[in-house]
Structure 1
Amino acid sequence: MEQNLRGKTALVTGGSRGLGAAAARRLAAAGADVAISYERSAEKAAAVAEEIEEFGVRAHARRADQGNRDEVVALVADVAERFGRIDILVNNAAVFLGGGPLGSLGQEESRRLWDINVHGVVTTTTEALKHMPDGGRIISIGTITARRAFAAGFGDYSATKAAISAYGRSWAHELAPRQITVNTVVSAFALTDMAIPQDSEIGKVLLSLAPFHRYARPAEVAAAVGFLAGPEASYITGTDLDVDGGWNA
């Protein structure tokens, strides 16, 4: 793989597993030093950091509750102090809460969902920009359910992810004078521990609707992150890049 990110530093939130871990590996393979955050998966985060270092780059894993503003601020400050700058930010950390009928999500659950999936992204981005040189990259991980409701129960989670795409389009205008690109990678249902089980009733329905009749592999989503982080994507901003296997075709 071309080392087109050599000398760059990336921060991937929620990088201990799933799409975040795949994105961290992809950026490291391209030569970037990578910091990851995690909330509970300390052992998994340490394992990912070890994998990153095998690419001959620096790695750092730090615990941070993405829904806690003070912890997010401390996370970004720590990464900036260790590496001197943050060239690439991947907003990946998210939770899925809900899945029930309208109004079934409690007030505390709803607040937690928005604190992590939306407010956490805003805080991480705001803080990272203080340490991001011109020409940096902001990449958020979205979902196809933010655009298309495949079934009932996705409303609360999907609304938070739709908000991230909306923020991205606005930030693209705001940061254009600094040549900082802002994009959202819109993933299909992927093979992660957050995914709807493929053998469940809804999983079987979803697979029947997919042209490839399979979920996305994390590495396939990470490839889009790697592309948007690289120099070839310098004129792509304010857009949603679909990695959905034709789900919305």
Structure 2
Amino acid sequence: MLKGKTAVVTGASRGIGRAIALKLAKHGANVVVNYRNSVDAVQEVVKEIEALGVKVLAIQADISSYTDVENMIKKSVEEFGSIDVLVNNAGITKDGLLMRMKEADFDSVIDINLKGAFNCTRHVAAIMLKQRSGRIINISSVSGLTGNAGQVNYSAAKAGIIGMTKSVAKEFGSRGVTCNAVAPGYIQTDMTEDLPAKVKDTIMGTIPLKRLGRPEDVANVVAFLATDEAAYITGQVINVDGGMVM
């Protein structure tokens, strides 16, 4: 469904980003795998994508840096000729109660989770608008919809992603470029792996499907939004949370 297309996935060395990169590759897309530090992990992802018979390019870049992202997008276009899909997935957490939160912890989460999505969208905009086609998919969170104690910075960034998504959808829609957001709930990743058993039990009680999500659950929705089958969907937020928020 994506044969001949090129997708850029940020934060793709592990977790949800890794699952998204592999899913898009399985659909036939060539993939640009962005990472910041996880060299060993990204090499594994590259091998898995190459085994699927598509092209892959790993680019190390700090997406909170406007210049880093500009260079990443230039390299991607030089390698593949165009960019058809952008998945703004990269994110970090620096949790803590507001009264104890350091300014640096607030700033770093906003810089990567929100400004990073702006930087990437800003640099693919001219490419997609010129070709009159493109799919921008932003990974938000249920925390951006409901808020979460101890996550003022993360919730603010993910709520900002939703506002950005709707604004971009309105700006780019007339040129055939869609922009949607996916809001995962509790997904089995490094971020949730270290949660105490008691906390996990409490979380499970809020999820009608009574299980944590898998990275593939998110990747499946992203892959659909990247295809022509989702051509008339834009400005939407799709929850992938087992029914936790409804």
TM class, shorter-chain normalised? over 0.9
1:108 CA displacement: 1.9
In 2, distance between residues paired with 1:72 and 1:200? Answer: 39
The offset of 1:244, in angstroms, is 1.1
Overall identity of the aligned pairs, in %: 38
Moved more, 49-58 or 25-34: 49-58
CA shift in 2, pair 1:199/1:172, >3 Å? same
TM-score, normalised with respect to structure 1: 0.94
Counterpart of 2:12 in structure 1 is 15
State the Cα deviation string for residues 72-94 of structure 1 (Å, max 9, x = none). Answer: 11111111111111000000001
Would you say the 8 A contact 1:198–1:207 is kept in 2?
A: no
1:84 has 2:101 as partner? no
Secondary structure of 2:186 counterpart: coil
CA contact (8 A) 2:65 2:119 kept: no
Measured in 2, the distance between the counterparts of 1:33 and 1:94 equals: 23
Residue in 2 that maps onto 1:143: 141
TM-score, length of structure 2 as denominator length: 0.95
- Pair 1:48 & 2:75 matched: no
1:174 corresponds to which residue?
A: 171
Q: Encode CA deviations 1:137-194: one digit per residue, 9 max, x unaligned.
A: 0001111111124x52122101100000100001101001111000001111101102
Partner residue of 2:21?
24
Q: Match for residue 94 of structure 1?
A: 91
Give the count of matched residue pairs: 244
SS at match of 1:147: helix
Q: Which runs of 5+ in 1 are unaligned?
A: none
SS of 1:241's equivalent?
Answer: strand
Are 2:182 and 2:218, in contact at CA under 8 Å, matched by a contact in 1? yes
- Map 1:1-249 to 2 at 5 A: 4-98=1-95, 100-132=96-128, 133-149=131-147, 151-195=148-192, 197=194, 199-249=196-246
Shift of 1:236: 0.2
Give CA deviations for 1:224-244 in whole Å, capped at 9, x if unaligned. Answer: 000000111000000001111
Q: What runs of 5+ residues in structure 2 fail to find an aligned partner?
A: none
| Structure with the largest fraction of helix | 2
